[in-house]
């Protein structure tokens, strides 16, 4: 028999407001401890419930699961990160759409969205309950993708390219976060939480601009090289004039 305070996973789901699959997903990520076993029944305690409520609260405030895992395992960091969290939240787009709403707004078949959600890109789109959610920024980006597809690019090829970029970007982003944590948030200067938050606010647009600038220069320069190698000098000259014009338009935004 279970003790009076022991909970089955169904009871834990009801009290925490999370789906059973979400609880299992969090357990697999190491966000909560494994339950004790009574025969074939998994039993959870009040510590599990308290942890899940904390995780849900953090996720609702916009923290990614990687950061949440760090915080729940190192409680002493929570106070230091509270101000930084507020700065992160200021940059977050709060509007959220379900998959069905997102597909309707885009005017695409739900099956096409299912194809995207079925690949590894979906891990960045989970909310605190483990469900897929989209923002206004996602909507704008997806409309851009549809324009690209309108030029005849196959969706499967575009997804394959996106997945390779996503994997490389994840590694770069993680290293960037580690760099910020080491030299800005916990560096020898001993900056206050308010100073760290202000540094984040200042650095984020600069980093995004630098990344966009580098990607643009790399894409254009390599595309021009490939075009010149093709031997079509007229097309190369036209492309060079157009990219110069585009650079001016981008800079003026």
Q: Which domain holds residue 236?
A: 205-253
**pLDDT band, residue 43 (cuts 50/70/90):** very high
Torsion angle, CA of 110/115/120/124, rounded to 10 degrees?
-20
Mean pLDDT of the 51-72 span: 78
Number of domains in the chain: 1
For residue 94, the number of C-alpha atoms closer than 13 Å in the C-beta half-sphere is: 5
226 lies in a domain? yes
Q: What is the mean pLDDT of the chain?
A: 78
**φ, ψ of residue 134 in degrees (nearest 5):** -125, 150
| Whether 158 contacts 148, CB under 8 Å | yes
Quick: pLDDT tens for 134-173. Answer: 777 778 888 888 899 899 999 889 888 888 888 888 888 8
Let me know if residue 10 belongs to a domain. Answer: no
pLDDT value at residue 195: 79
- In this structure, is residue 49 part of a structural domain? no
Q: Are 236 and 224 in contact (CB under 8 A)?
A: yes
Any domain includes 50: no
Q: Report yes or no on 229 lying in a domain.
A: yes
Q: Which of 2-11, 68-77, 129-138, 157-166 has the highest mean pLDDT?
A: 157-166
For residue 241, being part of any structural domain is answered with: yes
Residue pair 207/94 in contact by the 8 Å Cβ criterion: no
pLDDT at 252: 45
pLDDT(205) > 70: yes
d(CA 247, CA 220): 10
Position with higher pLDDT, 7 vs 76: 7
Q: Pick from 222, 214, 252: which is nearest to 239 by CA?
A: 222
214 domain-assigned: yes
Please give the residue that has the higher pLDDT: either 135 or 21. Answer: 21
User: Of 8-22, 160-174, 180-194, which range is least confident?
Assistant: 180-194
C-alpha to C-alpha distance for 57 and 68, rounded to whole angstroms: 10
Is residue 107 pLDDT above 80, yes or no?
A: yes
Q: Provide the pLDDT for residue 10.
A: 92
Whether residue 58 lies inside any domain: the answer is no
User: For the CA atoms of 252, 212, 107, 97, what is the dihedral angle to 10 degrees?
Assistant: -110
End-to-end CA distance of the chain: 66
* 26 and 32 Cβ atoms separated by less than 8 Å: yes
d(CA 193, CA 82): 8
Q: 1: pLDDT confidence band, cut at 50, 70 and 90?
A: very low
């Amino acid at each position: 028999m279970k003790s009076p305070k022991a909970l089955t996973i169904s009871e834990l789901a009801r009290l925490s407001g999370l789906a059973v699959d979400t609880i299992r997903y969090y357990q697999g990520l190491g966000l909560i401890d494994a339950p004790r076993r009574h025969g074939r029944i998994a039993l959870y305690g009040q510590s599990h419930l308290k942890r899940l409520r904390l995780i849900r609260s953090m996720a609702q405030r916009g923290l990614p699961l990687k950061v949440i895992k760090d915080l729940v395992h190192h409680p002493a960091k929570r106070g230091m990160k509270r101000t930084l969290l507020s700065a992160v939240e200021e940059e977050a787009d709060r509007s959220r759409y379900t998959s069905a709403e997102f597909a309707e707004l885009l005017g695409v078949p739900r099956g096409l969205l299912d194809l995207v959600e079925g690949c590894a890109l979906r891990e960045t789109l989970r909310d605190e309950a483990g469900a897929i959610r989209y923002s206004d920024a996602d909507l704008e980006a997806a409309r851009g993708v549809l324009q690209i597809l309108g030029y005849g690019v196959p969706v499967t090829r575009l997804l394959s390219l996106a997945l390779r970029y996503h994997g490389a970007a994840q590694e770069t982003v993680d290293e960037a976060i580690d760099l910020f944590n080491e030299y800005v948030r916990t560096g020898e200067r001993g900056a206050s939480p308010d100073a760290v938050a202000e540094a984040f606010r200042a650095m984020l647009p600069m980093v995004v601009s630098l990344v966009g600038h580098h990607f643009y220069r790399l894409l254009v320069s390599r595309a021009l090289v490939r075009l010149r190698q093709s031997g079509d000098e007229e097309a190369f000259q036209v492309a060079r004039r157009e990219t110069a014009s585009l650079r001016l338009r981008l800079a003026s935004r």
